[in-house]
């Protein structure tokens, strides 16, 4: 089943809001076997909205819109679509009551402008929205199907998962579009492409796409309109082939988070971990603490941004700093060693580097980062020269810190 998305909102076109809804909806719909063949973004203009939706209905007879269901005068989706379908807008008492209740829970009263949010095109099915004010709407007519969802990302996601995908999956039939992702890190895209080149033809009819990012290069395999069992089997087989060809740089699949995988290994090994960060400034800690339940294994650490704090908090000697500089194997090692000794943990990772844009030299250009991975009495230091802007270097360094420790722990 093909469908088109129409995302409504002038802020999208002006670039003040990034269209995350489009990405999420594409993913969610694919899981239901629905293929998004086009996505159109238009401003809060009745003529543009009507034109985009009409064009989409003419091509695929199935459209999902996001945005324009709020209480302000910019919000015109329902009016426009109702007009397209020749349906009047009816005031729905139960929606209004639900809205009153919701506002009461937050100790607020709605204003006159909220009343429009209880209006429903005649014959539309209301998709109840437990996460926000405006319900979603499902309207079918001669022209086709239009599903209207709020633009607020969390609400759109919930309504998609709970109300839309189940209804669509029922009608999409027996075939699915399904993807599987193999996640790699610490290896360049061209390098990983070389390793899997031999397999590119054998995996047909699956397609393979490379998605480079700050966490590494993701390889996405996609099955196009196969039956669910066949898609699952082919994807699993192809993914295994890729993993074998790529080797150690594979750390996970789908949405695996390297921080979570690292914590799993720590938990299995019965060890606790701390971080000693300099140039990353807290990103490694953020990555780890983003994982619920991390406190079982993660005690915390230090952001030893200044040399003083490297000395005072981690016991790095003034001499070491003077002789080798803060960005060196020796200091990285001392930082990790200090974390293990002082924080009573069994493992620690340290990061010290030059994130730029200033600070680089011929000997230590911007992007130079030293890592130390300490597990018990063992400690290894690694140097990387990471590409990109200041933020990219820092994020890549944090990912490499997680990777290096994960790699050295028992599976």
Residues 246-305 that bind its own copies (CB under 8 A): 275, 277-286, 288-290, 292-295, 298-305
| Cα-based torsion angle of the residue sequence 71, 76, 81, 84 in order, rounded to the nearest 10 degrees | 140
Q: Which is nearer to its own copies, 128 or 293 (CB)?
A: 293
Candidates 20, 94, 233, 318; binder of its own copies (CB under 8 A) is 20
Cα separations in angstroms, 210 against 22, 183, 189, 336? 20, 10, 7, 35
Q: Which is nearer to its own copies, 94 or 113 (CB)?
A: 113
Closest CA to 72 of 4, 134, 140: 134
Please, which of residues 377-406 interact with its own copies by CB under 8 A?
389-391, 394
Please, which of residues 24-43 interact with its own copies by CB under 8 A?
24-28, 30, 36-43
Work out whether 199 is an interface residue with its own copies (CB under 8 A). no
Burial 236-270 (b: 16+ CB within 10 A, else e): eebbebbbebbeebbbbeeeebbbbbbbebbeebe
Residues 93-112 vs its own copies: string with x where CB under 8 A? ---------------x----
Question: What is the DSSP-derived secondary structure letter of residue 317?
Answer: -
Q: Which residue has the tokens 């699949």?
A: 253
Distance, CA of 79 to CA of 156 (rounded, Å): 19
Candidates 54, 74, 199, 232; binder of its own copies (CB under 8 A) is 74
Q: Which is nearer to its own copies, 123 or 317 (CB)?
A: 317
Candidates 94, 97, 190, 317; binder of its own copies (CB under 8 A) is 190
Q: Which is nearer to its own copies, 12 or 375 (CB)?
A: 12
Closest CA to 381 of 390, 369, 373: 373
Strands 175-184 and 216-227: antiparallel
Candidates 22, 67, 132, 144; binder of its own copies (CB under 8 A) is 22
Q: For residue 402, give both structure tokens.
A: 């997680």
Closest CA to 405 of 369, 381, 377: 381
Work out whether 315 is an interface residue with its own copies (CB under 8 A). no
Q: Which residue has the tokens 């402008």?
A: 113
Work out whether 161 is an interface residue with its own copies (CB under 8 A). no
* Inter-residue contact 366 to 354 (CB < 8 Å): yes
Work out whether 236 is an interface residue with its own copies (CB under 8 A). no
Least separation, in Å, of the C-beta of 290 and its own copies?
A: 6
Non-local (6+) Cβ contacts of 87 within 8 A are 121, 122, 123, 124, 139, 141
Task: List, in sequence order, every residue forming a beta bridge with 374; answer none if it has no partner.
Answer: 348, 379
Least separation, in Å, of the C-beta of 60 and its own copies?
A: 11
Note the residue count of the chain: 411
Question: What is the DSSP-derived secondary structure letter of residue 197?
Answer: G
Candidates 312, 317, 323, 365; binder of its own copies (CB under 8 A) is 312
Distance, CA of 41 to CA of 23 (rounded, Å): 13
Least separation, in Å, of the C-beta of 389 and its own copies?
A: 8
Least separation, in Å, of the C-beta of 10 and its own copies?
A: 7
Please, which of residues 321-380 interact with its own copies by CB under 8 A?
342-344, 355-358
| Cα-based torsion angle of the residue sequence 235, 241, 243, 247 in order, rounded to the nearest 10 degrees | -170
Candidates 55, 141, 315, 360; binder of its own copies (CB under 8 A) is 55
Work out whether 19 is an interface residue with its own copies (CB under 8 A). yes
Residue 303, phi then psi, degrees to nearest 5? -100, 90
Q: Which is nearer to its own copies, 15 or 410 (CB)?
A: 15
Q: For residue 344, give both structure tokens.
A: 């009573």
Least separation, in Å, of the C-beta of 123 and its own copies?
A: 29
Work out whether 130 is an interface residue with its own copies (CB under 8 A). no
Work out whether 206 is an interface residue with its own copies (CB under 8 A). no
Work out whether 222 is an interface residue with its own copies (CB under 8 A). yes
Q: Which is nearer to its own copies, 37 or 198 (CB)?
A: 37
Q: Which is nearer to its own copies, 248 or 312 (CB)?
A: 312
Task: Say how far residue 188 (Cα) sits from the centre of its chain.
Answer: 21
The stretch among 7-15, 165-173, 369-377, 399-407 that binds its own copies (CB under 8 A) is: 7-15
């Amino acid at each position: 089943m093909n469908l088109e998305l129409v995302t409504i909102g002038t802020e999208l076109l002006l670039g003040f809001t990034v269209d995350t809804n489009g990405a999420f909806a594409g993913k969610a719909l694919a899981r239901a076997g629905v293929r998004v063949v086009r996505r159109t973004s238009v401003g809060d203009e009745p003529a543009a909205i009507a034109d985009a939706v009409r064009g989409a209905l003419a091509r695929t007879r199935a459209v999902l819109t996001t945005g324009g269901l709020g209480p302000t005068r910019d919000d015109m989706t329902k009016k426009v679509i109702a007009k397209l379908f020749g349906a009047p807008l009816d005031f729905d008492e139960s929606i209004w009551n639900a809205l009153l209740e919701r506002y009461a829970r937050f100790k607020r009263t709605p204003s006159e402008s909220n009343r429009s949010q209880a209006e429903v095109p005649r014959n539309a099915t209301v998709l109840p929205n437990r996460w926000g004010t405006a319900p979603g709407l499902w309207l079918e007519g001669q022209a086709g199907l239009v599903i209207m969802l709020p633009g607020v990302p969390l609400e759109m996601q919930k309504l998609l998962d709970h109300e839309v995908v189940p209804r669509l999956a029922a009608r999409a039939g027996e075939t699915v579009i399904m993807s599987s992702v193999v996640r790699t890190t610490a290896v360049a895209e061209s390098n990983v492409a070389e390793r899997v080149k031999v397999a590119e033809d054998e995996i047909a009819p699956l397609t393979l796409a490379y998605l480079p990012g700050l966490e590494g290069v993701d390889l996405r395999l996609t099955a196009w309109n196969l039956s669910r069992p066949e898609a699952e089997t082919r994807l699993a087989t192809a993914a295994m082939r890729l993993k074998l060809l790529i080797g150690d740089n594979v750390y996970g699949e789908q949405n695996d988070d390297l921080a979570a995988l690292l914590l799993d290994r720590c938990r299995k090994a019965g060890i606790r971990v701390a971080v000693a960060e300099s140039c990353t400034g807290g990103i490694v800690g953020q990555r780890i603490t983003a994982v619920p339940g991390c406190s079982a294994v993660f005690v915390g650490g230090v952001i030893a941004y200044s040399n003083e704090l490297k000395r005072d908090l981690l016991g790095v000697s003034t001499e070491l700093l003077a002789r080798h500089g803060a960005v060196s194997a020796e200091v990285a090692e001392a930082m990790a060693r200090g974390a293990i000794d002082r924080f009573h943990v069994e493992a620690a990772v340290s990061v010290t580097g030059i994130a730029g844009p200033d600070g680089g030299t011929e000997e230590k250009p911007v992007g130079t980062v030293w890592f130390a991975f300490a597990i018990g009495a063992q400690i290894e230091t690694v140097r990387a020269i990471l590409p990109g802007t200041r933020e990219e270097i820092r994020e890549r360094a944090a990912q490499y810190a997680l990777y290096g420790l994960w790699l050295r722990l028992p599976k």
